[in-house]
């Protein structure tokens, strides 16, 4: 399980939906936590002014693609409740296993035991 804590806006590669699909194909669940508000805010970082807002639709789509859950954390109390709610879940997928090698190995073992017993009993190799 991956916990994605973000505002949902994408400004880098790779495409979030492509990454979510790759995770889903491998059985990885992504729980998304949206931080911020849809109205957004203006941030001043290292002399650069950036307007950012919460993209809930993208976060919900990522969670749905991977069978995860979307949470909205509008404040610190909500975020702490979400952290308490997140629990690791073990998913067991049944897989078919080829057992022909086991039977072939058992047959070879029986053959070798028979050959050794034959050699010991009759003092010759069959």
Res 69 pLDDT > 80: yes
pLDDT digits (tens, 9 = 90+) for 8-66: 777 778 888 888 888 889 888 888 888 877 777 777 778 888 777 777 888 888 888 88
Query: Over the chain, what HEC string results?
Result: CEEEEECCCCCCCCCHHHHHHHHHHCCCCEEEEEECCCCCEEEEECCEEEEECCCHHHHHHHHHHCCCCEEEECCHHHHHHHHHHCCCCCCCCCCCCCCHHHHHHHHHHHHHHHHHHHHHHHCCCC
Residue 126 has what pLDDT? 53
Half-sphere exposure of 53 (CA within 13 A, CB side): 6
Closest CA to 112 of 123, 95, 125: 125
CA dist 61 and 57 (Å) reads: 6
**Model-level pTM?**
0.59
pLDDT digits (tens, 9 = 90+) for 76-109: 888 888 888 887 767 677 888 899 999 999 999 9
Residue 125 has what pLDDT? 59
Q: At what angle do helices 56-65 and 16-25 cross, to 10 degrees?
A: 20
């Amino acid at each position: 399980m991956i916990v994605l804590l973000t505002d949902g806006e994408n400004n880098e590669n790779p495409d979030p939906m492509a990454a979510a699909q790759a995770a889903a194909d491998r059985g990885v669940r992504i729980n998304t936590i949206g931080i911020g508000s849809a109205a957004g805010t203006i941030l001043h970082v290292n002399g650069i002014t950036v307007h950012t807002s919460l993209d809930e639709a993208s976060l919900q789509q990522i969670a749905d693609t991977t069978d995860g859950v979307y949470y909205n954390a509008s404040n610190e109390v909500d975020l702490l409740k979400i952290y308490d709610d997140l629990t690791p879940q073990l998913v067991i997928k049944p897989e078919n296993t080829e057992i022909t090698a086991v039977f072939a190995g058992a047959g070879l073992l029986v053959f070798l035991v028979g050959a050794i017993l034959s050699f010991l009993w009759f003092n010759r190799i069959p």
